[in-house]
Amino acid sequence: NAGVMQNPRHLVRRRGQEARLRCSPMKGHSHVYWYRQLPEEGLKFMVYLQKENIIDESGMPKERFSAEFPKEGPSILRIQQVVRGDSAAYFCASSPPSLGGSSSEQYFGPGTRLTVT
C-alpha cells in the first residue's frame, strides 16, 4: 500500500514565479491536510480539504496561497508570486474517510522543499 506521495521533492523558484506542489493521498484516504515547516520551526497547519471541498483554510496566508483537491487527481497547493519567505518544507498528510478529520490518523508524505531564489 503506497504511502502519501508528494512531488516534486525539491522545487526551486525565482521570486515572482508560481509554485505548484502536488500531493496524492494514501489509497482509500479522502482527507488531505497541508502543513508548512519554516527553517528551525515546527510544522504549522495550513489547510484541510476533502474531495472538491475546502473544510478549513484558517492556517493559509490570506494572499498568494490557494489549495484544491479535485474529484480526480492529486491535491494541489499553489503559491503565486513566491517570495523568499515562502522557502520552507511543505508536508501533506492524509486520513481515511471513516474517521473524518482526525489528528490521530494523519499519515504524512515526505514533503516538498521549496527554495525561492
Partner 1 sequence: DQQVKQNSPSLSVQEGRISILNCDYTNSMFDYFLWYKKYPAEGPTFLISISSIKDKNEDGRFTVFLNKSAKHLSLHIVPSQPGDSAVYFCAASASGAGSYQLTFGKGTKLSVIP
**Which residues make up the interface to partner 1 (CB under 8 A)?**
4, 6, 9, 31, 33, 35, 40-45, 48, 56, 58-59, 91, 93, 95, 100-104, 106-111
The residue (of 18 and 99) whose beta carbon lies closer to partner 1 is 99
The residue (of 15 and 27) whose beta carbon lies closer to partner 1 is 27
* Cis? peptide before 8, omega within 30° of 0: yes
CA distance 90 to 20: 11
The residue (of 81 and 103) whose beta carbon lies closer to partner 1 is 103
Q: CB of 3: closest distance to partner 1 in angstroms? A: 8
DSSP state at residue 28: T
Q: CB of 32: closest distance to partner 1 in angstroms? A: 11
Is the Cβ–Cβ distance between 81 and 16 less than 8 Å? Answer: yes
CA distance 28 to 104: 17
